[in-house]
């Protein structure tokens, strides 16, 4: 396995094509705006090196028998699924940000079982292709970005009906040695910090959408791939040179629009190619795994936000107020409810035909449906406890200013014994998690990541088995089932 420093150097050595603010970025490892995001991924390597986290962060590969990072693992039991959620909570606690390797891990497990079933029906080579690919990923301890979301264009039209065919990524040329694809993937979290990108279709496809039913993996610095980094609230604070105003000075996240401009994919890197009847299967399984993930990662970040709210209550002198205590209890209740859902859908996981374990799909969607709501309430309560100074405090430069600094120290002081700077640091952390750059990976991502709320409600309706529940009611009420 790689160390954190080896990971950073591996990203620095890549020839990835990155654009931000209309300019080309030479290296994600050396960009002040992108480096905190890289540090979040680095933490997944650093934690795997610590003996106290070994059981959560590492596991034995069922393919090679070697010790690997759990982010590269294929789940072999319900216990593996549970440990995945525990690992994600730990990483959230240590970074207070999105650590970006979950999408790739969830893609691995969805593709593993799906390719097995595609091969069984069509005698294709996809399952073996994927196993050989995954062995390489495990051996090199790579970070892999999972790319599912297409720009979509007119949501009322199928991929093949769009006026611009590139609004869904698709095959534009089939050759003896592979395919050429064109299109884009949106909202790609951590793509600038990844070695590889693994692409999946974004919706269930019909036969006429055959060219869009494509799944593959290529290095992110493959010719024809480039990324346009998205804006985040308060992102340019990272260019100011200070630490306090960033809220979280070490860790962060990033997202980008990734363009595939006539990218060649060799045959041995293809995992689905026109089998439209399995595109929906792959999408649903990936979505299920990723909705499970939110019961871990968002809970870990929530732990930090609850701690920050409790800390600012101490610094404000309000910790003993009954309403503050009650708000902290409510925040904890909501956060642990999310965790309970993540653990529950894992504990109820079952073995697929391919041998890996799939979460309980209904409970995974219930988990993510709750995540679309509870972090918003946790954030609201944190803002309530923090007070208005969270969004009106002067800058760090004012705090350090020869003339202004003493006045900032004097008038923004809280309880005796706590430096004004500490109070400002906690307020900025709360701002970062609820409104700033980290809110992309906590609050807003809680709404739209792994599918919008309506996507989960569709799956809940599909998995909820209302007919069975009617039969249960009829049996108790002594009503004829006819």
- Structural domain includes residue 236: yes
User: If we measure between CA atoms, which residue out of 126, 410, 439 comes closest to residue 274?
Assistant: 126
- Structural domain includes residue 350: yes
Whether 290 is catalytic: yes
Whether 98 is catalytic: yes
Which tens digit of pLDDT belongs to each residue from 426-435?
999 999 999 9
- Cβ(287)–Cβ(109) below 8 Å: no
- Structural domain includes residue 185: yes
Task: For residues 353-374, give the mean pLDDT.
Answer: 98
Who has greater pLDDT, 258 or 436? Answer: 258
Model confidence band, residue 168 (pLDDT cutoffs 50, 70, 90): very high
Neighbours of 71 (CB within 10 A): 29
Pairing assessment for the beta strands 18-20 and 256-266 based on DSSP bridges: unpaired
Which tens digit of pLDDT belongs to each residue from 37-55?
999 999 999 999 999 999 9
Instruction: Report pLDDT for 441.
Output: 85
Say if residue 28 is in the same domain as residue 125.
yes
Residue of 117, 255, 383, 396 marked active site: 255
Residue of 143, 187, 290, 341 marked active site: 290
Look-up of token digits 């409810």: 337
- Structural domain includes residue 480: no
Say if residue 94 is in the same domain as residue 200.
yes
- Domain closes at, from 220, 243, 276: 276
278 φ, ψ (degrees, to nearest 5):
-110, -5
Which tens digit of pLDDT belongs to each residue from 440-451?
889 889 999 999
Say if residue 149 is in the same domain as residue 107.
yes
Whether 297 is catalytic: yes
Say if residue 367 is in the same domain as residue 405.
yes
- Structural domain includes residue 32: yes
CATH code where residue 259 lies: 2.40.110.10
Strand-pairing partners, residue 336, are: none
Residue of 72, 91, 98, 367 marked active site: 98
Say if residue 230 is in the same domain as residue 318.
no
CA 328 and chain centroid, separation: 26
Say if residue 108 is in the same domain as residue 169.
yes
Strand-pairing partners, residue 264, are: 180
Model confidence band, residue 310 (pLDDT cutoffs 50, 70, 90): very high
As a whole number of Å, the CA-based R_g of the chain is 24
DSSP output for 186-249: -S-TTGGG-SEEEE--SS---GGGGGG-EEEEEETTSTTEEEEEPP-TTGGGGGSS-SGGGSSS
- Cβ(18)–Cβ(28) below 8 Å: yes
Q: 3-state DSSP call for residue 255?
A: coil
400 vs 129: CA distance, rounded Å: 57
Instruction: Report pLDDT for 185.
Output: 98
Dihedral of CA 467/470/474/479: which sign? Answer: negative
- Cβ(150)–Cβ(184) below 8 Å: yes
**Number of separate domains in the chain:** 2
Say if residue 228 is in the same domain as residue 373.
no
Say if residue 213 is in the same domain as residue 286.
no
Q: 3-state DSSP call for residue 191?
A: helix
Residue of 117, 284, 396, 445 marked active site: 445
Say if residue 228 is in the same domain as residue 366.
no
172 vs 264: CA distance, rounded Å: 10
CATH code where residue 418 lies: 1.20.140.10
- Domain closes at, from 245, 276, 307: 276
- Cβ(213)–Cβ(8) below 8 Å: no
Neighbours of 233 (CB within 10 A): 14
Say if residue 381 is in the same domain as residue 401.
yes
Residue of 72, 91, 102, 367 marked active site: 102
Task: For residues 275-304, give the mean pLDDT.
Answer: 98
- Structural domain includes residue 482: no
DSSP output for 73-108: PPP-SHHHHHHHHHHHHHHHHHHSS--S-HHHHHHH
- Domain closes at, from 222, 243, 276: 276
Dihedral of CA 90/185/1/37: which sign? Answer: negative
Residue of 294, 315, 339, 442 marked active site: 294
Whether 284 is catalytic: no
Say if residue 135 is in the same domain as residue 40.
yes
Average pLDDT score, the chain: 97
Which tens digit of pLDDT belongs to each residue from 240-266?
999 999 999 999 999 999 999 999 999
- Structural domain includes residue 162: yes
The domain in which residue 327 lies consists of 282-472
Look-up of token digits 């599912």: 148
Which tens digit of pLDDT belongs to each residue from 62-84?
999 999 999 999 999 999 999 99
Task: For residues 297-319, give the mean pLDDT.
Answer: 98
Residue of 72, 91, 297, 341 marked active site: 297
Q: Using the predicted structure, report yes or no on whether residue 357 has a pLDDT greater than 90.
A: yes
Say if residue 308 is in the same domain as residue 384.
yes
Whether 189 is catalytic: yes
Q: Using the predicted structure, report yes or no on whether residue 379 has a pLDDT greater than 80.
A: yes
Q: 3-state DSSP call for residue 148?
A: coil
Task: For residues 348-371, give the mean pLDDT.
Answer: 98
- Cβ(251)–Cβ(115) below 8 Å: no
Neighbours of 61 (CB within 10 A): 18
Which tens digit of pLDDT belongs to each residue from 181-191?
999 999 999 99
Which tens digit of pLDDT belongs to each residue from 202-234?
999 999 999 999 999 999 999 999 999 999 999
251: which 2 tokens? Answer: 């860790």
- Structural domain includes residue 481: no
Model confidence band, residue 438 (pLDDT cutoffs 50, 70, 90): confident
């Amino acid at each position: 396995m790689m160390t954190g420093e080896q990971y950073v150097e591996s990203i620095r050595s890549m020839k990835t094509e990155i654009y931000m603010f209309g300019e080309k970025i030479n290296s994600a490892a050396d960009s002040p705006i992108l480096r905190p995001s890289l540090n979040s991924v680095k933490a997944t390597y650093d934690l795997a090196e610590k003996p106290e986290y070994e059981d959560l962060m590492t596991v034995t590969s069922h393919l090679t028998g070697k010790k690997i990072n759990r982010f590269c693992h294929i789940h072999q039991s319900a216990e593996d699924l549970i440990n995945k959620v525990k690992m994600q909570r730990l990483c959230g606690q240590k970074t207070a940000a999105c650590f970006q390797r979950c999408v790739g891990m969830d893609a691995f497990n969805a593709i593993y079982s799906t390719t097995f079933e595609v091969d069984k029906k069509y005698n294709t080579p996809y399952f073996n292709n994927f196993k050989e690919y995954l062995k390489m990923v495990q051996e090199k301890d790579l970070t892999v970005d999972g790319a599912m979301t297409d720009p979509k264009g007119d949501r009322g039209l199928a991929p093949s009906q769009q006026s611009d065919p590139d609004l869904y990524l698709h095959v534009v040329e089939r050759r003896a040695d592979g395919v050429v694809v064109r299109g884009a993937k949106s909202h790609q979290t951590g793509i600038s910090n990844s070695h590889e990108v693994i692409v999946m279709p974004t919706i269930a496809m019909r036969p006429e959408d055959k060219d869009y039913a494509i799944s593959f993996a290529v290095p992110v610095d493959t010719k024809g791939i480039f990324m346009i980094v998205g804006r985040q609230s308060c992102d340019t604070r990272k260019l100011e040179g200070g630490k306090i105003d960033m809220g979280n000075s070490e860790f962060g996240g990033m997202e980008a629009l990734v363009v595939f401009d006539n990218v060649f994919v060799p045959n041995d890197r293809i995992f689905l190619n026109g089998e439209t009847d399995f595109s929906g299967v792959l999408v649903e399984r990936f979505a299920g795994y990723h909705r499970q993930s939110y019961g871990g990662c968002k809970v870990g970040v929530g732990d930090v936000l609850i701690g920050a709210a409790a800390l600012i209550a101490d610094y404000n002198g309000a910790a003993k107020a009954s309403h503050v205590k009650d708000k902290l209890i409510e925040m904890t209740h909501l956060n642990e409810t999310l965790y309970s859902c993540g653990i529950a859908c894992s504990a109820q996981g079952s073995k697929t035909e391919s041998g890996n374990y799939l979460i309980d799909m209904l409970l995974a969607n219930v988990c993510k449906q709750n995540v679309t709501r509870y972090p918003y309430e946790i954030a609201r309560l944190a803002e309530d406890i923090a007070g208005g100074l969270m969004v009106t405090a002067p800058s760090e430069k004012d705090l350090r200013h020869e003339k202004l600094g003493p006045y900032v120290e004097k008038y923004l002081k809280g309880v005796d014994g706590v430096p004004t700077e500490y109070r400002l640091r906690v307020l900025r952390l709360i701002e970062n998690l609820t409104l700033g750059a980290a809110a992309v990976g906590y609050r807003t991502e809680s709404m739209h990541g792994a599918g919008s709320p309506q996507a989960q409600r569709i799956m809940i309706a599909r998995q909820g088995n209302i007919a069975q529940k009617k039969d249960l009611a009829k049996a108790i009420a002594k009503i004829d089932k006819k």
